Amino acid sequence: MKRRDFIIKTTGVAAATLSYSQLYGHIQKQIESTANQSNYDVIVLGVGSMGSATCYQLAKRGFRVLGLEQFDIPHELGSHAGQSRIIRKAYGEGSDYVPLLERAYQNWKTLEAETGSQVYYKTGLMYFGAPDDPFLKTVKSSSVKYKIPVDNLTAAECDRKFPQFKLPQNFQRLEEPDAGFITPERSILLFVEQAIKNGAVIRTKEKVIEWKRENGSVTVVTNRGTYKASKLVITAGPWAGKMIPALASKLTITRQAVAWVKPKKWDNFALGKFPCWILENKDHDFYGFPILPVGTFGGPLGLKLALHYPGAETTDPDKVNRDMKDSDEKTLIKFLNEFIPDGYENTLVMKTCLYTNSPDNDFIIDYLAGFDKDVVFATGFSGHGFKFVSVVGEILSDLALNGSTSLPIGFLNAKRFG
């Protein structure tokens, strides 16, 4: 593969000064202005969360990149819509993730420095759960192992700080002050903007129909054209099983319901007054965010919360039932009335979003067996992947360009499923 020796000039609009809708319009114009070719060093299949960061990393390293996205960038039909994604470091899903999170935090900072635009908001995060809750146990052990500040608040301290919550007396109340949220749509747009600035070609509304490897190169056929590249990176999210049939039986796609509600006392839940939170209640995990201003973050407006696990239905990503069910709403209202009683007056909006679950809920990042090191994929983000987007882009670029990565991803290999 040859490094590119040209950079496309952008219009020079500073992303930092734009509202969300202005940024969206600005990037759509940039996407339309990229000049198509037929040969590339790397094709990225799917420009959502992981794909946008991969296009950015590859282009920044000077390679000819084509990003193919079947819908708009961003869009509401996959896994990345909805204004906010929690980011935290004392990882309850396993301490192996912490070194990747350290790198992810650094890479988010780099994106902010390069674009002058904020994507990480440090609101602090409250973890709540019973004394023997296994997730909270791992939060504490990850925090000790990697010296991540996590404070164990007493009930009285928590009530003083966040009177919005009404919790059983025996619940643990852990606070991770350096946690917060990332704004997903803005991040994806900024990664795409930076990728284009560094020479990437991004094509939207272009669906990949099939891909194959022959005579040492990869051919990708879409509904609008045929392209060749030395390497292929597959970041197709919920559609990964359709693009890699060998993976289909390992992935379960679930339809997740998310609500934005009007609280009884709006100001008490605004950004700056209310933290991000995760509450483990008898094996049901709920999470939520403060109310965010729509101008900066895009819609919808309201206090956002969702049920993480379990209870979601499986679905085909092309046949998702996006009509809301009474049961989706009732679960969330019941939760609010019990644990955040001033948090509910009425429901403003409900939306669906898709998780791509692996059998053990850990990510799968690897070379695709049978294609040497020419095809790389990342999937199975199991509802907790967005905070890692900035590091996954780096990892996938390392794998595609260098044949390995120094980042510790051994535990995410595909061979663990046989």
Q: What residues have CB less than 8 Å from 367, skipping those under 6 apart? A: 373, 375, 376, 377, 399
Tokens read off for 174: 């852990």
DSSP string covering 139-166, please? HHHHHHHTT---EE--HHHHHHH-TT--
Tell me the C-alpha distance between 320 and 312, whole Å: 12
Which one of the spans 80-88, 112-120, 128-136, 326-334 is the region binding ligand FAD (CB under 6 A)? 80-88
Residue 127 touches ligand FAD, criterion: CB under 6 A: no
Tell me the C-alpha distance between 334 and 330, whole Å: 6
3 vs 207, which CB is nearer to ligand FAD? Answer: 207
333, with CB counted inside 10 A (0-12, 13-18, 19+), is middle
Stretch 204-233 residues interacting with ligand FAD (CB under 6 A): 207-208
Which one of the spans 77-85, 134-142, 260-268, 366-374 is the region binding ligand FAD (CB under 6 A)? 77-85
Which one of the spans 76-84, 125-133, 333-341, 394-402 is the region binding ligand FAD (CB under 6 A)? 76-84
126 vs 354, which CB is nearer to ligand FAD? Answer: 354
Query: Rounded to the nearest 5°, which phi and psi values hold at 290?
Result: -75, 170
Tokens read off for 145: 């192992």
167 vs 391, which CB is nearer to ligand FAD? Answer: 391
Least Å from the CB of residue 198 to ligand FAD: 20
Stretch 170-209 residues interacting with ligand FAD (CB under 6 A): 207-208
Q: What residues have CB less than 8 Å from 251, skipping those under 6 apart? A: 240, 241, 356, 357, 358, 379, 380
Least Å from the CB of residue 410 to ligand FAD: 20
Tokens read off for 343: 């948090």
Tell me the C-alpha distance between 31 and 298, whole Å: 20
66 vs 354, which CB is nearer to ligand FAD? Answer: 354
Least Å from the CB of residue 182 to ligand FAD: 7
13 vs 103, which CB is nearer to ligand FAD? Answer: 103
Residue count at the site for ligand FAD (CB under 6 A)? 36
Which one of the spans 12-20, 26-34, 81-89, 369-377 is the region binding ligand FAD (CB under 6 A)? 81-89
Query: Rounded to the nearest 5°, which phi and psi values hold at 79?
Result: -115, 0
Stretch 237-256 residues interacting with ligand FAD (CB under 6 A): 237-239, 243, 256
Tell me the C-alpha distance between 69 and 195, whole Å: 14
Asked if 178 and 122 touch (Cβ cutoff 8 Å), the reply is: yes
124 vs 237, which CB is nearer to ligand FAD? Answer: 237
298 vs 385, which CB is nearer to ligand FAD? Answer: 385
Residue 396 touches ligand FAD, criterion: CB under 6 A: no
Find the residue with minimal CB distance to ligand FAD.
48
Tell me the C-alpha distance between 168 and 418, whole Å: 43
Residue 304 touches ligand FAD, criterion: CB under 6 A: no
Stretch 374-393 residues interacting with ligand FAD (CB under 6 A): 381, 383-387
Stretch 33-52 residues interacting with ligand FAD (CB under 6 A): 45-46, 48-51
Least Å from the CB of residue 386 to ligand FAD: 4
Least Å from the CB of residue 9 to ligand FAD: 27
Instruction: Return the H-helix or E-strand segment holding 106.
Output: helix 98-115
b/e per residue 6-23 (b: at least 16 CB within 10 A): eebeeeeeebeebebeeb
R_g of the chain computed on alpha carbons: 21
Tell me the C-alpha distance between 8 and 213, whole Å: 29
Judged by the rule CB under 6 A, the positions of this chain that interact with ligand FAD are 45-46, 48-51, 68-71, 78-80, 82, 85-86, 207-208, 235-239, 243, 256, 258, 306, 353-355, 381, 383-387
